[in-house]
Amino acid sequence: MAESAAVEFRIDRRSGVATYLQIVQQTKQALRLGVLQPGDRLPTAR
């Protein structure tokens, strides 16, 4: 099983953009850049 790179989402609470939308945007970007691959597991909430 291949090990995936750690993905760190950065949430800006002052941006005015909803948290879930920031996560969606960052996930899409990580997929486009090849940092995430379809089927990769996402980090748990902290």
**Tens-digit pLDDT profile for residues 1-46:** 455 567 888 999 999 999 999 999 999 999 999 999 999 988 777 6
Distance separating alpha carbons of residues 2 and 17, to the nearest angstrom: 34
Specify the pTM. Answer: 0.74
Residues 42 and 23 sit within 8 Å (Cβ to Cβ): no
Return the pLDDT at 46: 64
Return the pLDDT at 4: 55
- CA 23: distance to chain centroid? 6
Classify the phi-psi angles of 17: left when phi > 0, otherwise alpha if psi is within -120 to 50, otherwise beta. Answer: beta
Return the pLDDT at 1: 45
